[in-house]
C-alpha cells in the first residue's frame, strides 16, 4: 500500500463515517507523518476529537485498533517510499514537466537548504560543536551512499583532530570500534535506505556510554531515540537517490564552529599541514 492507496481507502469509507470521524479523516490526510509517530492522546488533542473516535475510525478502515493502523502506516507507506521506485512515485513531477527539469531540481534543493535552521536549531549546532571539541576520539560511520558522507566528515575533521577513526566501509569494523568509551563520540550518518549495520554500530556505542550524533532524514529513522544530538535533513529529490547538499552545509557549519571555538589550537595544526603540503611538491604553486 502506498500513500495514495491509503488515502483512497479513507475516501471510499467516507459515507460510513460519523461527522467526528470525517473530521479526523481530514486530519489524517493532512498530517500522515504525525499519525505515524504520535500517541493517540496527542492526536486526540491536536485534532480535537476523542480517543474513542480515533479508535472507531481505525476500525472503520478495517484495522483492529489505532495501534494496527499506525503500524500499517509505518510499515507499508513510509518504508515503501524508501525504495528507488517509491521515491520517484512519491515526488510530484508536474512542475518539473511544465518548467525546465534542471531549474526545478535546483529550486527543490534550495527549498530544503532554506529549511535547515527550521529543523535544526542553532543551539543544536552549538551542542554538537561542544561534543566535538571535548571528545577524546571521534568515530565516523556510514553505509552504502551514506558512507561517502561519512568519508567527507572524516577527511575534514581529521585535519583538526588526528584522533579520529573512519568506520565507513571498514573491513575491520568491530575491531576498530571495540574500544569506544564514554569519552568518545560517534557520528553516524544513516539515510534511506537505512542500513542494519548503522543500527548495530549506534547500539554498541550507546552500550559503551559513548556520545552519539545521528545525521538522518526523519524522526522515524532507526535509533533516533538513542542519539544525544539528532540532525534532521528531510529531502525529497526529483530523482531516485538521496541528496546530501544540506549535509555538506552541516559539515561546513560544524567546522566553522569548531575552529572559532579553538582558534589558536587549530591555527597551529593547520599551519603545520600547510607547511608540509607546501614543501612536499604535491600541489602546483
| Joined grid coordinates for residue 231 | 540532525
Looking at every residue in the chain, the average pLDDT score rounds to 80
Average pLDDT over residues 209-230: 85
Task: For the chain, list the domains and their CATH numbers.
Answer: 3-78 (1.10.10.10), 113-278 (3.40.50.10490)
Closest among 6, 11, 14 to 76, alpha carbons compared: 6
Q: 220 CB contacts (<8 Å, ≥6 apart)?
A: 33, 36, 37, 74, 78
Q: Please tell me which of 67-71, 73-77, 125-129, 170-174 the model is most confident about, judged by mean pLDDT.
A: 125-129
Residue 30 is placed in which grid cell?
A: 493532512
Q: What's the chain's length in residues?
A: 285
pTM for the structure as a whole: 0.63
| Sheet containing strand 185-189, strands side by side | 164-166, 138-142, 185-189, 211-216, 229-232
Higher pLDDT, 262 or 151: 151
Q: What is the pLDDT of residue 220?
A: 65
The per-residue pLDDT for 282 is 66
Q: Give 94's pLDDT tier (boundaries 50, 70, 90).
A: very low
Kindly tell me if the per-residue pLDDT of 110 is higher than 90: no
Does 160 have pLDDT greater than 70?
A: yes
Distance CA 43, CA 48 (A): 8
Band (241; pLDDT cuts 50, 70, 90)? low
Identify the pLDDT of residue 3: 66
Amino acid at each position: 500500500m502506498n500513500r495514495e492507496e491509503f488515502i483512497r481507502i479513507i475516501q471510499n469509507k467516507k459515507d460510513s463515517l460519523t461527522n467526528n470521524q470525517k473530521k479526523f479523516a481530514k486530519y489524517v490526510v493532512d498530517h500522515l507523518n504525525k499519525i505515524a509517530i504520535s500517541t493517540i492522546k496527542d492526536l486526540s488533542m491536536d485534532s480535537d476529537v476523542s480517543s474513542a473516535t480515533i479508535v472507531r475510525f481505525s476500525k472503520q478502515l478495517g484495522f483492529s485498533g489505532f495501534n494496527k493502523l499506525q503500524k500499517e502506516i509505518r510499515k507499508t507507506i513510509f518504508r515503501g517510499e524508501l525504495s528507488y521506485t517509491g521515491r520517484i512515485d512519491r515526488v510530484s513531477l508536474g512542475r518539473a514537466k511544465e518548467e525546465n527539469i534542471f531549474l526545478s531540481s535546483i529550486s527543490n534543493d534550495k527549498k530544503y537548504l532554506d529549511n535547515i535552521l527550521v529543523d535544526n536549531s542553532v543551539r543544536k549546532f552549538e551542542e554538537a560543536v561542544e561534543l566535538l571539541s571535548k571528545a577524546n576520539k571521534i568515530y565516523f560511520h556510514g553505509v552504502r551512499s551514506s558512507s561517502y558522507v561519512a568519508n567527507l566528515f572524516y577527511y575534514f575533521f581529521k585535519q583538526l583532530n588526528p584522533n579520529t577513526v573512519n568506520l565507513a566501509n571498514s573491513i575491520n569494523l568491530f575491531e576498530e570500534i571495540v574500544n569506544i568509551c564514554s569519552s568518545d563520540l560517534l557520528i553516524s550518518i544513516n539515510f534511506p535506505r537505512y542500513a542494519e549495520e548503522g543500527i548495530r554500530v549506534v547500539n554498541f556505542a550507546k552500550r559503551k556510554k559513548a556520545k552519539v550524533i545521528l545525521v538522518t532524514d526523519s524522526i522515524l529513522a532507526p535509533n533516533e531515540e538513542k542519539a544525544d544530538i539528532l540532525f534532521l535533513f528531510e529531502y525529497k529529490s526529483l530523482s531516485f537517490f538521496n541528496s546530501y547538499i544540506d549535509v555538506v552545509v552541516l559539515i561546513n557549519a560544524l567546522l566553522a564552529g569548531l575552529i572559532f571555538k579553538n582558534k589558536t589550537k587549530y591555527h597551529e595544526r593547520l599551519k603545520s599541514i600547510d607547511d608540509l603540503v607546501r614543501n612536499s611538491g604535491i600541489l602546483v604553486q
